Amino acid sequence: MSVVANIIALLVMPIILVGTINRVKARWAGRRGPPILQLAFDLWRLARKTPVYSKLTTPVFRLGPIVVVVTAIASACVVPLAGTTSLIAFPFDFVWFAYVWSLGRVALMLGALDTGSSFEGMGASREATFATLLEPVLFLVAGALCLHSGARSFAAVLVPRLDAPAAVVMWVAAIAALLIVVQVESARMPVDDPTTHLELTMVHEVMILDHSGAELAFLQLGAAIKMFVGVSVVAMLLNPLAGEHSLAAVAAHLGLCLAIAVAIGLSESLIARLKLRVVPQYIVVGLIAGGIALLSMLGRGGHG
Amino acid sequence: MVGSALLLTSIPILLIGAGLAAGLRTNHARGIAALVTQALATLVVLISIWPVLAGHATIEVIWPWPAPIDRIAFRLDALGAFFLAWSLPMTLLGTLYAVGYLRPYFHAGRNGGPHFALLNMTSVAFVLIYSVQNALVFLLGWEIAAVAAWLLVIWDYRKQKIRFAGFNYLVSTHVGLFVLVAAFMLLHSYTGSMDFAAFGTYLSSHPVGQGTVFLLLGISFALKSAFFPFHTWLPRAHAAAPAHVSALMSGVIHKAGLFGFLRFTLLAGKPEEWMGWSVLVFGAMSAVFGVLYTATQRDLKRLLGYSSTENVGIAAMAFGVGMLGWAWGNPGLATLGFGAGLLHLLNHALFKCSLFYAAGAVYRATHTIDLERLGGLARRLPSTTIFFLVGGLAMCGLPPLNGFVSEFLIYAGLLSGAAPTTEGDVVLVCAAAVLAFVGAVGALSTTRAFGLTFLGAARDPSLHVGAEEPRSMAIPMAVHSVAIVVLGVYPEVALWLVEPAVQRFQLALGAPATANLATVLGPVLWACRGLAVVLGVAMVAAWRRRRTARASVTWGCGYTAGTARMQYTGSSFSAQLSTLFRPALPLVTHEHLPTAAFPQHASHLSTNHVDAVERRMFEVLGQGEQFVQDTSARIPEQPRFAFAAGLLALVVVALVALGKML
- Write out the DSSP string of B311-371: HHHHHHHHHHHHHHHHHTT-HHHHHHHHHHHHHHHHHHHHHHHHHHHHHHHHHHHHS--BT
At A108 the pLDDT is 94
SS3 B604: strand
- The SS3 of residue A98 is helix
Q: Please identify among residues 70-109 of chain A the ones whose CB lies closer than 8 Å to any CB of chain B.
A: 70-71, 74, 77, 88, 90-93, 95-96, 98-100, 102-103, 105-106, 109
pLDDT at B661 over 70: no
For residues A139 and A161, which has the higher predicted lDDT (pLDDT)? A139
- Nearest Cα to Cα of residue B435 among B407, B401, B402, B405: B407
Q: Write down the pLDDT at residue A109.
A: 94
Q: Determine contact: B606 vs chain A, CB below 8 A.
A: no
A117 interfaces chain B, CB cutoff of 8 Å = yes
Nearest to B306 by CA among B621, B612, B577: B612
Contact B410, A92 (CB under 8 A): no
Nearest to B441 by CA among B395, B386, B390, B402: B395
Split at pLDDT 50, 70, 90, the class of B566 is: confident
- Whether residue B229 has a cis bond before it, omega within 30° of 0: yes
What is the rounded distance in angstroms from the CA atom of residue A65 to the CA atom of residue A180?
25
CB spacing of B575 vs A125 below 8 angstroms: yes
B631, pLDDT greater than 50: yes
Do B378 and A99 lie within an 8 Å CB cutoff? Answer: no
Identify whether the C-beta of residue B63 lies closer than 8 Å to the C-beta of residue B71. yes
- From the list A74, A125, A139, the residue facing B432 with the nearest CB is A139
Tell me how crowded residue B83 is: count the other CB atoms within 10 A of its CB.
27
Q: Which of A70-74, A79-83, B190-194, B637-641 has the lowest mean pLDDT?
A: B637-641
Domain annotation covers residue B533: no
Quote the CA–CA distance of B5 and A240 in Å, as a whole number.
69
Q: Distance between CA atoms of A45 and A29, rounded to whole angstroms?
A: 27
Whole-number Å distance between alpha carbons of B503 and B498: 9
- Least confident span in B257-271, B415-429, B502-516: B502-516
Dihedral over alpha carbons B19, B21, B23, B26 (to 10 degrees): 170
Q: With an 8 Å Cβ cutoff, is A32 touching chain B?
A: no
- Which of B406, B119, B343 shows the shortest CA–CA distance to B247? B119
Decide if A280 and B580 are in contact by the 8 Å CB cutoff: yes
Chain B hits for A57, CB-CB cut-off 8 Å, are 554
Task: Report CB contact under 8 Å: A131, B566.
Answer: no
A261 and A182 Cβ atoms separated by less than 8 Å: no
- Which of B151, B147, B145 has the alpha carbon at shortest distance from B130? B145
Alpha helices in B422-574 (DSSP H): 422-454, 471-489, 492-509, 517-544, 570-573
- Which pLDDT belongs to residue A276? 82
Identify all chain B residues contacting A71, using CB atoms and an 8 Å cutoff. 531
Q: Is the bond into B235 cis (omega within 30 degrees of 0)?
A: no
Whole-structure pTM value: 0.93
B372, B396, B398: best to mutate for the A interface, most A CBs within 10 A:
B398
pLDDT at A301 over 70: no
Q: End-to-end alpha-carbon separation of chain A, Å?
A: 33
Query: A248: burial class by Cβ within 10 Å (0-12, 13-18, 19+)?
Result: exposed
| Residues in chain B, total | 662
On whether the CB atoms of residues A188 and A224 are closer than 8 A, the answer is no
Least confident range from B58-62, B123-127, B201-205, B349-353: namely B58-62
B432 closest CA partner among A68, A98, A154, A264? A98
In a domain, B361, yes or no: no
The answer to whether B609 and B297 are in contact (CB under 8 A) is yes
Nearest-angstrom CA–CA distance, B243 and B247? 6
Q: Tell me whether A116 touches chain B (CB under 8 Å).
A: yes
Query: What span, in angstroms and rounded, lies between the C-alpha atoms of A193 and A182?
Result: 14
- Smallest Cβ distance to A113: which of B389, B421, B451? B451
Residues of B in contact with A86 (CB under 8 A): none
- Residue B91, domain member (yes or no): yes
- In this prediction, residue B391 has a pLDDT band, given cuts at 50, 70 and 90, of very high
Provide the 8-state DSSP code for A186: T
**Alpha-carbon distances of B487 from A97, B136, B301, rounded to whole Å:** 20, 36, 25
Between residues B632 and B611, which one has the greater pLDDT?
B611
DSSP letter at A32?
-
**What mean pLDDT comes out for the span B555-560?**
77
Helix (H, G, I), strand (E, B) or coil at B609: strand
Alpha-carbon distances, residue B310 vs A78, B509, B638 (angstroms): 29, 29, 47
pLDDT score of A28: 93
Closest CA to B26 of B113, B96, B89: B113
**Are A129 and B444 inside 8 Å of each other by CB?**
yes
Chain A residues within 8 A of B376 when measuring between CB atoms: 56, 116
Of B132, B147, B181, the residue that ends a domain is B132
> Could you check whether the bond before residue B64 is cis, i.e. omega within 30 degrees of 0?
no
Q: Which residue has the higher pLDDT, B235 or B635?
A: B235
Range name among A241-245, A290-294, A299-303, B554-558 with the lowest pLDDT average: A299-303
B335/B605 Cα distance (integer angstroms): 53
CB pairs under 8 A between A and B: 256
Fill in the amino acid letter for B500: P
For residue range B450-476, list pLDDT tens digits in order: 999 999 888 888 888 888 888 889 999
ipTM value, please give it.
0.96
CA A75 – CA B556 distance, rounded (Å): 34
Backbone angles phi, psi at B270, to 5 degrees: -55, 120
- CA triple B420-B424-B425, angle to 5 deg: 90
Is B356 domain-assigned?
Answer: no
Give residue A304's pLDDT band: very low, low, confident or very high (50, 70, 90): very low
How far apart (Å, rounded) are the C-alpha atoms in residues B219 and B146? 16
Residue B552 three-state SS: strand
pLDDT top residue among B74 and A4 = A4
CA angle B633, B636, B637 (to 5 degrees): 80
How many angstroms separate the CA atoms of A14 and A223, rounded?
9
Is B553 close to A55, i.e. CB distance below 8 A? yes
Can you give the pLDDT at residue A201?
59
Distance CA(B223)–CA(B426), nearest Å, equals 30
Q: Which residue of B has its CA nearest to A213?
A: B549
Q: Is residue B648 part of a domain?
A: yes
φ and ψ of A242, to 5 deg: -55, 140
Spatial separation of the C-alpha atoms in residues B562 and B570, rounded to whole Å: 18
Phi, psi of B24 (to 5 degrees): -65, 165
Alpha helices by DSSP H, B192-272? 196-205, 207-225, 233-240, 243-248, 255-268
Alpha-carbon distance of B391 to B401, in angstroms, equals 9
pLDDT one-digit tens code per residue, B243-256? 999 999 999 998 99
Task: Give B562 or A84, the one with higher predicted confidence.
Answer: A84
In whole angstroms, how far apart are CA B447 and each of A121, B438, B450, B570, B592?
A: 11, 14, 5, 10, 32
Residue type, B171: V
H-run or E-run covering B36: helix B27-55
Least confident of B92-106, B240-254, B622-636: B622-636
- Say whether pLDDT at A86 is over 60: yes
Q: Which residues of A touch B556 (CB under 8 A)?
A: 117
**Partner residue facing A128 (CB), from B425, B443, B567:** B443
Asked if residues A224 and A17 have their Cβ atoms less than 8 Å apart, the reply is: yes
Nearest to A115 by CA among B84, B588, B479, B552: B552
Decide if A119 touches B, using CB distance below 8 A.
Answer: yes
Average pLDDT over residues B52-77: 76
Confidence bin at B68 (pLDDT 50/70/90): low
Query: Given CA atoms B246, B248, B252, B254 in this order, what sign does their dihedral have?
Result: negative
Give the pLDDT mean for B307-333.
93
Residue B62 lies in a domain: yes
Q: Identify the residue among B381, B405, B531, B534 best suited for mutation to test binding to A, counting A beta carbons within 10 A and taking the highest.
A: B531
Domain annotation covers residue B565: no
What is the rounded CA–CA span in Å between residue B496 and residue B499?
6
Give one DSSP letter per residue of B75-109, joined into a string: EE-HHHHHHHHHHHHHHHHHHHHHHHHTHHHHHTT
User: Where in the sequence is the domain holding B623, given as residue range(s)?
Assistant: 613-661
Residue A198 has pLDDT above 80, yes or no: no
Mean pLDDT, rounded, of chain B: 88
Q: Do A66 and B440 touch (CB under 8 A)?
A: no
Integer Cα distance of B442 and A303 in angstroms? 35
The pLDDT of residue B101 is 92
Residue B410 domain flag: no
Residue ending a domain, choose from B77, B105, B132: B132
Identify the domain boundary among B96, B114, B132. B132
Q: Which chain A residue shows the shortest CA-CA distance from B571?
A: A125
| Interface subset of A 138-167, CB within 8 angstroms of B | 138-140, 142-144, 146-147, 150, 152
Q: Residue B385 belongs to what H/E stretch?
A: helix B382-395
| Residue type, position A272, single letter | A
Is B388 in contact with B358 (CB distance < 8 Å)?
A: yes
Q: Average the pLDDT over B117-136 and give the result.
A: 90
How many structural domains does chain B have?
2
Contact yes or no for A120/B454 (Cβ under 8 A):
no
CA-based nearest residue to B573, from A205, A191, A118 = A118
